[in-house]
Structure 1
Amino acid sequence: MLTDERYLTLLTKYAGTDETAGKEHEVSLEELSEALYCTTRNVKLIIRKLEEDGLIRWNAGRGRGNRSRLSFLVGLDRKLLELSQQSALKGEYKYAFELIRKYGEGTQVRHMFVEWLNDHFGYSSVQANDGNSDILRLPVYRPILTLDPKELYYAFSAHMIKQLFDCLLRYDRDAGKIVPSLAHAWEHDESGKEWTFHLRKGVLFHHGRELVSEDVVYTLNRLRGSSASGWFVRSIVRAEAIGKRTVSIGLAEPNWLFPRFLCSPGLSIVPHDLAEQDERFWHHPVGTGPFRFEEWTADRFTMSANPVYFQGRAHLDGVIIVTMPEDTMEYSKTWEQLLVDHDLRDMKPENGWKKIETICNGCSLLSWNMGKDGPQRSPSFRKAVDLLVDRSRMIRELGEDRMYPARGFHPNDESPFWQDSCDAEPALALLRESGYDGKPIRICTHGIHEHDARWIQRELGKFGIPVEVKIESWDSIREPDVFHSVDLLLYCVVFAEDEVCLIELYEQNGNFLREHLDPGLRAWVKEKIDAALACRSAEDRREQLAIIENKLRDETHILFLVHKKLNTFYNPNIKGVGVNSLGWIDFKDIWLD
């Protein structure tokens, strides 16, 4: 235990938050020994050190029965804040919050510490051995769950993977076309089943080895099976290296969307020599991306610029991602943190700061668990619930980032004009038709959607449908025994790439929507997806995929809720701030004017 923390231990035990500087407390060495869990000899050493540091005044008792007198010279708030700040400056953010949790009950230290962190985060220039380094520190309120493209579910993890790895191809959203990345050229046969990719020369992994075709073949083969990204390669029957820089891929069925698949973070190329030999590889990953892994702890994730990145070195020298307690979001100045967060409340930027507001390409929704017995097995019951949920009123009453009622996965030109309402009379008739007996239904969600779940709970309760709400964490909600045991899941879907991400909802193992579909419907969906992939025209593919979406909506297997807005606030002196398809800023292009 550090001397400063020992001081906090004694201060909270004998004085608490109302300490008056210099007030004396009668104590014995034996009592201090018990409080500090050490011997009386060590207590004497600790007392001497605390005196030397100017933290206490100590008057030792003389003779049998005379107690010593201890005075605390620095108040709890001041010392706890100072110690927390010192810990943060050393990168020990988790330890800082643990100190505040342990010693700061009944104080304002937690709030003051987060206010101080607001100035600690953002863009800064720090002294390094070879001059100044430009560092970006960003707080996040959920941990990085994985850096393995094979196990990719969440947008945050996908964004971090894109910093460390590259794909064969890249989708340029502004130009609306696929452009070269690790592959500088590619071709296909007329069937859409044979594809060939030619790799760039001189692309280096972070450990110094050049990218070769064997890395691509290994990456594709390791995805086979039931992994989260396994659906990308389900139709691949052959992947082989043709020399050092050419890869030939054969598909069982035509797939004219295959180049778009290869732009996805789940198909990021990994070094075969490291990934296949070291099980710990994913705790210290190595890619070809614009940033190199440096450190990953419970507090933070640190990466530095890749000086030989084949698409040009990042302007930043490093990025530090700090994991903050989720309950600090309410009083953090998130506009200063240079990131987009789908869960931000409406916040006003500081004077002179700029705001980017966009509509999230996705929606919140409810998916019915069709693998479980319950009233949701009845189409009439599902339709009744759909009619009872008034999305427009939900938006008016809950506000914040909720923007438009959703009729489908994507917002469109009609979204601002569509108004929803509660249609109670036909809904109640459908409830009677379904034979609903008043059995409670259980909705499961994670913390950021709790307000929506509680609102739905109140609304359905008005019409005799009792709802139980189960709140999980980002991590625990993915446990199969959690999402398979509930009647409804409430969550958001965000589409970084429209067609690819939509197919992912239906095909990805462990994806909530796929796991809740009836097996027969799931097989029908797969047939429709194969038909869509065989379409060379993007318009024809969209028509095939729309058939799936319409069926899910019309038969109320899912209930679309609302489209949301995204707000980014940033300092106009910081250049290159652009929101990417995952709803995050691209670290590589940021620079300070």
Structure 2
Amino acid sequence: MQQLFERYLALHLKFANPGAGAEGCLVSLEELSEALFCTPRNVKLIIRKLEEEKMIVWQAGRGRGNRSTLTFLIDREKLLLDRSEQLAQKGEYKQAFELLQAYGEGTSSRSRFVEWLNGHFGYRLTQDHDGHSDMLRLPVYRPILTLDPRELYYAFSAHLVKQLFDGLLQYDHVKERVVPALAHAWEHDEQGKEWIFHLRKGVWFHHGRELAAEDVVYSLERLREGGTSSWFVRFVLQVEAIGRRSIKVTLDRPNWLFPRFLCASGMVIVPHDLVEEDVEFWKHPVGTGPFRFVEWTEDRFTLEANPAYYQGRVHLDGVVIVIMPEDTSIYSKSWKQLLYDNHPQDNPPGHDWQVVEHLCNGCSLLTWNMRKDAPQQSAAFRSAFDLLVNRTRMIQELGEDRKYPARGFQPNHANLAEDYSYHPEQAAELLKESGYSGETVRIGTYGIHVQDARWLQQNLASFGINIEVQAETWQTIRNPDVRSGVDGLIYCVVLAEDEVCLIETYEQPGNFLREHLDPRLREWVKGKIDLVLGSREAEERWRLLAEIEDKLREETHVIFLLHKKVDTFYHPTMRGVGVNSLGWIDFREVWLA
């Protein structure tokens, strides 16, 4: 039947007369054959089936060479919407969008379909073979690049990893302290170089095997082999099991943040047997987390509740993440159910709905590639560029989730609304001092940040700065050739674990800021980080981290741009809705009153 619908749509797109209503069109079998890429004999069979389904009226031409009359009885846009909605109800979102792309020319079917999807998303009760299930269905406008904790870079992937896996410890952001997770207790020596962790009993991986010390040893040793999360174990000399449920980690120097490291998504514990045996493991991962993996296709990612979760079964029965085409976010105007999205809406839900506004702990920024011979090698040019960015106007003109000017990585609530940086007269003098004479400055970026780059391109052009925007995708922006080929990169930093994520910004292999730093400055930063990790006092650690940030800002190796917010709208019967440190709804807490 699906094939018949598509043939009808193809004929309608090719031959229907716009605005002609039920008026027929003159066609020949040869023309139909060419349009459907089949023989005239097959065309006759298709015509007969379309007539039987009351989709067309066919009046064969009398006499040889006379054309026939084809009358379409169903509006193409209506049929497209109906079929797309049916496909979405079955979870076949990619096929629905492909149908709209192929046959939606000249209609508003694509935008109308996405508006319909807004009511399809959210928290709802569904019927299955076991009865009713509480499901949360949410759209995202970015791909899932990996679920391997060793290769994490984006907050979205890190959030999903946290649903499937657990770490030895977890960080309680309310109480601001590390608390037990897979390890129920831990201890250390006086130097902070030897750490022992004791595992809980009765923690089971989703495939039915109990967690053992061997899994922890394997998970940490695996990080030492390389990858974006390898920096977590830079100080590790040895990981060894002490019996079945205890592990000793020996470091080559003190690291008093090591327990905080173990709370990160990159340090979760994986089942050694499955990872070693199955090369496809990361396409269908197995952990100990609150949700179990069900399905991962091009258009959706599905989780179900882990009934044996050691911290208690979650309230939801399942979560479906729908991977939408990135450009469809502009159609998301009305929400009927709970919906997470980075784009605030022009028409929010009814007055009884609730909204959680969450200020992201991080910022958007531009890092200069100090490994390339280009205008940014001049400190005067970098300072001039910074002084020419009118962040307040940027927020006013671009709007959406942009909230405050940024002076550093984290929002400083004492001066959030102030913009100290815009000084065009001073910038003009610095541009003269730098010797800049209109050379092209290539700025690379991707996704939602392209709009910011275009704004800078337009607004700084009036001051004589020639910016070329190199728009990449979420995947291609990670290409080392792209990173090294641009003069600067615009992206966003999310500090899910405060100190740990700040250190990650400087230490993580492949991190844009780290890879763009001048080698001598990178060594200086590394020395400061060693001092940070060796300090037991949080106040001293933050002082040292502030020294790094101040140097980056004062020497304009980094242009801090904006702090952003996330608005989460939800129905008043929804409970437990909050935004976690990764900027996502915490799935394990959501329930329906």
TM-score (norm 2): 0.96
1:553 is displaced (CA, Å) by 0.8
1:347 is displaced (CA, Å) by 5.5
AA aligned to 2:437 is: D
Secondary structure (helix, strand or coil) at the match of 1:463 reads coil
Match of 1:457 in 2: 457
Match of 2:404 in 1: 404
- Residues 176-210 of structure 1, C-alpha deviations (whole Å, 9 max, x = no match): 11111111111111110100111111111111111
CA distance in 1, matches of 2:208, 2:19: 59
- Residues 23-47 of structure 1, C-alpha deviations (whole Å, 9 max, x = no match): 3333333332222222333323322
CA distance in 2, matches of 1:334, 1:380: 47
AA aligned to 2:396 is: R
Secondary structure (helix, strand or coil) at the match of 2:42 reads helix
Q: Is the 8 A contact 2:24 2:69 kept in 1?
A: yes
Match of 2:306 in 1: 306
CA distance in 2, matches of 1:313, 1:16: 58
Secondary structure (helix, strand or coil) at the match of 1:578 reads coil
- CA, structure 1 residues 421+204, in 2 after alignment: closer, same or farther (shift >3 Å)? closer
Match of 1:469 in 2: 469
Match of 1:291 in 2: 291
CA distance in 2, matches of 1:529, 1:18: 69
Bigger mean CA offset, 421-430 vs 189-198: 421-430
Match of 2:29 in 1: 29
Q: How does 1:185-584 map to 2 (within 5 A)?
A: 185-333=185-333, 335-336=335-336, 338-344=338-344, 348-584=348-584
AA aligned to 2:60 is: A
AA aligned to 2:21 is: T
Count, aligned residues: 592
AA aligned to 2:533 is: L
Bigger mean CA offset, 63-72 vs 109-118: 63-72
- Residues 502-555 of structure 1, C-alpha deviations (whole Å, 9 max, x = no match): 000000011111010011111111111010000001111111111111111111
For the pair 1:86 / 2:86, whether they are aligned, the reply is yes
Secondary structure (helix, strand or coil) at the match of 2:280 reads helix
CA distance in 2, matches of 1:159, 1:18: 49
- Residues 53-104 of structure 1, C-alpha deviations (whole Å, 9 max, x = no match): 1111223345533443322111111111111111111111111111111111
1:16 is displaced (CA, Å) by 5.3
- Residues 319-366 of structure 1, C-alpha deviations (whole Å, 9 max, x = no match): 111111122212214655635444546663332111111221111111
- CA, structure 1 residues 393+421, in 2 after alignment: closer, same or farther (shift >3 Å)? farther
Match of 2:21 in 1: 20
Bigger mean CA offset, 26-35 vs 242-251: 26-35
1:461 is displaced (CA, Å) by 1.9
- CA, structure 1 residues 347+535, in 2 after alignment: closer, same or farther (shift >3 Å)? farther
- CA, structure 1 residues 345+123, in 2 after alignment: closer, same or farther (shift >3 Å)? closer
TM-score (norm 1): 0.96
CA distance in 2, matches of 1:374, 1:337: 50
Secondary structure (helix, strand or coil) at the match of 2:69 reads strand
Secondary structure (helix, strand or coil) at the match of 2:485 reads coil
Secondary structure (helix, strand or coil) at the match of 2:432 reads helix
Q: Is the 8 A contact 1:19 1:75 kept in 2?
A: no
Match of 1:10 in 2: 11
Bigger mean CA offset, 370-379 vs 464-473: 464-473
CA distance in 1, matches of 2:17, 2:479: 42
AA aligned to 1:7 is: Y
Q: Is the 8 A contact 2:407 2:561 kept in 1?
A: yes
Secondary structure (helix, strand or coil) at the match of 1:41 reads helix
Secondary structure (helix, strand or coil) at the match of 2:32 reads helix
- Residues 547-571 of structure 1, C-alpha deviations (whole Å, 9 max, x = no match): 1111111111111112222211111
- CA, structure 1 residues 150+16, in 2 after alignment: closer, same or farther (shift >3 Å)? farther
Bigger mean CA offset, 330-339 vs 142-151: 330-339
CA distance in 1, matches of 2:376, 2:507: 22
Secondary structure (helix, strand or coil) at the match of 1:206 reads coil
Q: Is the 8 A contact 1:136 1:318 kept in 2?
A: yes
CA distance in 2, matches of 1:346, 1:369: 38
CA distance in 2, matches of 1:399, 1:296: 34
1:276 is displaced (CA, Å) by 1.2
1:413 is displaced (CA, Å) by 2.8
Two-structure CA RMSD over aligned residues (Å): 1.7
Bigger mean CA offset, 72-81 vs 456-465: 456-465
CA distance in 2, matches of 1:319, 1:454: 36
Secondary structure (helix, strand or coil) at the match of 1:143 reads coil
Q: How does 1:86-125 map to 2 (within 5 A)?
A: 86-125=86-125
- CA, structure 1 residues 334+518, in 2 after alignment: closer, same or farther (shift >3 Å)? farther
1:238 is displaced (CA, Å) by 0.3
- CA, structure 1 residues 63+397, in 2 after alignment: closer, same or farther (shift >3 Å)? closer
For the pair 1:126 / 2:126, whether they are aligned, the reply is yes
Match of 1:150 in 2: 150
- CA, structure 1 residues 28+340, in 2 after alignment: closer, same or farther (shift >3 Å)? closer
Q: Is the 8 A contact 1:405 1:415 kept in 2?
A: no
AA aligned to 1:279 is: V
Secondary structure (helix, strand or coil) at the match of 2:303 reads strand
CA distance in 1, matches of 2:109, 2:422: 46
Bigger mean CA offset, 498-507 vs 57-66: 57-66
- CA, structure 1 residues 138+466, in 2 after alignment: closer, same or farther (shift >3 Å)? same
CA distance in 1, matches of 2:143, 2:332: 17
Q: Is the 8 A contact 1:345 1:401 kept in 2?
A: no
- CA, structure 1 residues 64+399, in 2 after alignment: closer, same or farther (shift >3 Å)? closer
Q: Is the 8 A contact 1:404 1:415 kept in 2?
A: no
- CA, structure 1 residues 517+352, in 2 after alignment: closer, same or farther (shift >3 Å)? same
- Residues 374-415 of structure 1, C-alpha deviations (whole Å, 9 max, x = no match): 111111221121222222332333333222221111112322
1:420 is displaced (CA, Å) by 2.4
CA distance in 2, matches of 1:343, 1:445: 19
Match of 2:136 in 1: 136
Q: How does 1:59-74 map to 2 (within 5 A)?
A: 59-61=59-61, 63-74=63-74
Q: Is the 8 A contact 2:178 2:259 kept in 1?
A: yes
Bigger mean CA offset, 362-371 vs 344-353: 344-353
Structure 1 unaligned blocks of 5 or more: none
CA distance in 2, matches of 1:461, 1:337: 43
- CA, structure 1 residues 400+102, in 2 after alignment: closer, same or farther (shift >3 Å)? same
Percent identity over paired residues? 64
CA distance in 2, matches of 1:316, 1:297: 21
- CA, structure 1 residues 483+540, in 2 after alignment: closer, same or farther (shift >3 Å)? same
- CA, structure 1 residues 97+562, in 2 after alignment: closer, same or farther (shift >3 Å)? same
AA aligned to 2:475 is: D
Secondary structure (helix, strand or coil) at the match of 1:545 reads helix
CA distance in 2, matches of 1:13, 1:384: 56
CA distance in 2, matches of 1:534, 1:27: 81
Q: Is the 8 A contact 1:197 1:247 kept in 2?
A: yes
